A and B are shown apart, each in its own frame.
Chain A
Amino acid sequence: MREIILYPVYSVISLFEHIGKYCDLMIKTLRSFTTWHLYLGLLPEHMIKLGVSTIPIVIVTGLFSGMVTSVQTAYQLESGFIPDSYVGGIVGVTVLMELSPMITALVMTGRVGASIAAEIGTMRVSEQIDALETLSFDPISFLIMPRIISGAIMFPIMIVIADLFGILGGYYAATISLGITPYDYIYGLRDWFVPWDAIFGIIKAFSFGIAITSIACYFGFYTSGGAAGVGKSTTQTVVASCITVVILDYLLAAILL
């Protein structure tokens, strides 16, 4: 009974411990900037792992999120008093500002965040990070910095791809299955388009990229307890990243819009 009552208290304490250790690790990462140039050569490899190999998933999720938005918008506007061009406009704004960044971030959390946490966590429990240190490497510059920079660069690119396929998916669903003319869809898209919406989506992607990769690096770096510990770190990464993405999503909207 006592444990049930104290569980939320321990959870809150643990949360603040994690936030403190995470901030400490990020400060160390920033402080290690003097040695970053030694490890910049690792960037292309991480950019390929984080970004290029994730493109197919981003295309599929982008495409279908655009299609479903199109179908649902058409369903809501089915009264006949609202012009068909609104479908294109609503799909465009929704995809650019919310759907692409958010859905891509959540997919990337599972695909990229979990993979980073598992990789660094395995290196920790198999003493590979200790080996790096004894070979005079700075593990923070070597393992964490390239991954965070790759995330910050590749996530916005992924979002642009998701935007493109989201709009295409919406176009396909609107014109093929809903009977909306291509002219109406494109007219609505152009009429409602505000460049800031797209920029806002890219700012979000940049923030999500840093958040997801840094959280994954944090949980991976402080993994302990063998294979079970790696599994725990991976799960914690996915949960913490999803929650952070949702919170960041609100904060950025509240601040920037």
Chain B
Amino acid sequence: MINISNISISFDDRVIIEDISFSIKKGDKIAIIGQSGVGKSVLLKSIIGLLNPDKGEIFIDEQNINKISFRKLQNLRSKFGMVFQFGALFDSMTVEENIGLALQKLTNCDKLEISDKITVSLKEVNMEGTEGKMPSELSGGMKKRVGIARAIALNPKYMFYDEPTTGLDPIMTDSINRLINNFHKKGEVTSIVVTHEMKTVRDVSERVLMLHDGKIQFNGSTEDLFSSRDPIVMAFLNGDSTYEG
């Protein structure tokens, strides 16, 4: 369970997120949407403790992540899987080392077990046979899939996806969306997807949170989003740049 209570975040006197609250229940599939620069990724990073809010509190499994020690936060993060916008694979490591790095540190598995887990994770994302490749040898979509494999290898309870389909072709987008759904079902995880791709919103979310001007403009089911009469929501869904809400 994730509980966000009255958080505000600003950078250099520019308010990005202003006094927002919401909660995410176990097993939820939630999409956070909004225009570019509205603070979706900032919100996601603050949920996992990479950014501290100026005000408010974030509770994950009843632990206030802004007040717990670094060691406790590290333990809590072992329940997280994060897929970054551009994969964030470690440049100096092969695909295998990228996935195996956290397995070596966070699990008691021996080399053989780690190797098995790497193979299984790569198979899940249809990337078998790329163990020895360097990130520079992979395309954008492949990097994202390896990023997903790295995250799911640790069997997280919470999966966070930051723009998982941005910049990908429609087929690759569909493939990533399927992966998100498959892992959500298999892993019994809580999935939070930051995106501005409407196809991804339809395919992977059951609930949507729309940010606008630092506040929550919409918080409801995916169905309700697409039938919403709110002019700001409609303008966003229809890509109407002339509307100044």
B-binding residues in A (CB < 8 A): 38, 122-123, 126-128, 130-138
Contact = CB atoms under 8 A, between A and B. Distances in A.
Interface string B133-164: 00000000000000000100010000010000
B142 to A, nearest CB: 16
A127 B81 CA distance: 14
A20 B90 CA distance: 29
Contacts of A135: 77, 101-102, 105-106, 150, 154
Nearest to A133: B50
- Contact size range, B: 20 to 34
A123 B85 CA distance: 14
5 contacts: A127-B86, A128-B88, A131-B89, A134-B160, A138-B74
B59 interface: no
Contacts of B150: 135
A127 B105 contact: no
Contacts of A128: 88-91
Given A122-B91, A128-B88, A130-B45, A138 B70 contact: yes
B75 A136 contact: yes
Given A38-B105, A130-B50, A136 B77 contact: yes
B48 interface: yes
B48 A134 contact: yes
Given A134-B48, A134-B77, A135-B106, 9 more contacts: A127-B84, A128-B91, A130-B45, A131-B89, A135-B77, A135-B101, A135-B150, A137-B105, A138-B70
Contacts of A126: 86, 88, 91
B82 interface: yes
Interface string B65-85: 000001000110110111011
Nearest to A137: B105
Contact of B102 (A130, A137, A138): A137
Contacts of B70: 138
A131 B74 contact: no
A123 B81 CA distance: 19
A125 to B, nearest CB: 10
Given A38-B105, A133-B50, A136-B106, A127 B88 contact: yes
A220 to B, nearest CB: 14
Contact of A133 (B75, B77, B85, B91): B77
B164 to A, nearest CB: 13
A127 B90 CA distance: 9
A52 to B, nearest CB: 17
Contacts of B45: 130
Interface in B85-134: 85-86, 88-91, 101-102, 105-106
A123 B89 CA distance: 9
Contact of A131 (B49, B90, B106, B154): B90
Nearest to A38: B105
A134 B50 contact: yes
Nearest to A134: B82
Interface in B173-210: none
Contacts of A123: 90-91
A127 B78 contact: no
A80 to B, nearest CB: 59
B88 A136 contact: no
Contacts of A130: 45, 50, 82, 84, 88
B71 to A, nearest CB: 9
Chain B CB count within 10 A is highest, among A122, A133, A134, A138, for: A134
A134 B85 contact: no
Contacts of B77: 133-136
A56 B91 CA distance: 26
Chain B CB count within 10 A is highest, among A126, A132, A137, for: A126
B85 A136 contact: no
B75 A131 contact: no
A136 B84 contact: no
A131 B84 contact: yes
Contact of B78 (A38, A122, A136, A138): A136
A222 to B, nearest CB: 14
B156 to A, nearest CB: 10
Contacts of B160: 134
A136 B82 contact: no
B214 to A, nearest CB: 21
Contact of A136 (B50, B91, B105): B105
Among all A-B residue pairs, the 3 with the closest Cβ atoms: A131-B88, A135-B102, A127-B88
B20 to A, nearest CB: 22
